[in-house]
Chains A and B, each alone.
Chain A
Amino acid sequence: MDIRQDGNFTIVSPTGKLDTISSPEFSRELSDALDKKPYGCIVDLSRVSFLSSSGLQALLAGAKRSRKDGTRYGVCGMSEMVNDVFTLSGFDRFIDTFDDVEGAMESL
C-alpha cells in the first residue's frame, strides 16, 4: 500500500489482491486518508491483481465518504479483469473511472 500526495490530490495505491483478507486494512487506510478531507482522492488500482466484493465494499465506503465530505473521488488503472468486476457490479455508474492517475487529476 502506498499513499502519497500530488498537489491537491491524495493518491492511494494498494498492491496485490483486494480480497476478503486484505480489504479491511485497505479500507482503514483509505478511511484514514479521507479523514484529512483532501480536495481529491484517487485510488490507483494499477498494481491490483484481484478484486472481490470485499474490495468493492471498501471502494464504495470511500466513495460514500467522499461524497459526504465534498472530496472528488475516482478510481484508475484497472486491469481488464478488475474492470470486469467493477462493471458487472454496476459500480462504474457512480464511481468515476480513469485510465491513469494523470487522467483522473485532469478530470476530477
Chain B
Amino acid sequence: MICLEVVPDKLSQVLERLESAIVELDDKLRFKVMLVSEEIITNQIRHTDFENRVPYIEVCIDISVGDGVVMLFRDNAKRFDPLEMEEPDITKSIDDTELGGLGIFMVKGYSREIEFEYRDGFNILKVVL
C-alpha cells in the first residue's frame, strides 16, 4: 500500500505523484482512481473544519488486490461523513442545477464499495474500485 500526505496548497503535486504510482493500472481504472481522489481530496481541503488543529490529510492506495483498487482517505478534521451529504437532484432543469454534492455522488457511482468511519480522531473513508 502506498500512502501520500496531502499538503493543501500542493494538491497538483499530490495528484501527479498518485498518478505516477498507478501507471500499471488500465486506462479506465486509472481514470476512476484519479476522479475519486480529486473529488474526495478537494472535499477534504475545502469543506472540512479542522477546528484549529494542524490539518493532516492522507491518501493511501493498494493496487495489489486482484482486479480492483482499495483507497483510504484520512483526515483529522471534525467528524464529517460525506456519505451523509444530500445527493444532488440530477433531474432538475439547467437553471436550477448546482454542483453541491455532485463530486461525492460521482464517487459513489464509481465505487464497488464505500464506507466511512470516525476512529481515533480521524475521518476515514474507504473506497473500493
Contact = CB atoms under 8 A, between A and B. Distances in A.
Contacts, number: 54
Contacts of B42: 20, 54
Majority secondary structure of chain A interface residues (helix, strand, loop or mixed): helix
Interface stretch (A6-14, A30-38, A56-64, A99-107): A56-64
B93 A94 contact: yes
A39 to B, nearest CB: 19
B11 interface: yes
Given A52-B103, A60-B99, A88-B109, A67 B35 contact: no
Contact of A57 (B93, B99, B106): B99
Contacts of B91: 90, 93
B109 A53 contact: no
A85 interface: yes
Interface size class of chain B, counting residues whose CB lies under 8 Å from the partner chain: 20 to 34
B39 A52 contact: yes
A21 interface: yes
Interface string A77-90: 00001000100111
Interface of A: 19-21, 50, 52-54, 56-57, 60, 63-64, 67, 81, 85, 88-90, 93-95
Interface of B: 11-12, 15, 27-28, 31, 34-35, 38-39, 42, 90-91, 93-95, 97, 99, 102-103, 105-106, 109-110
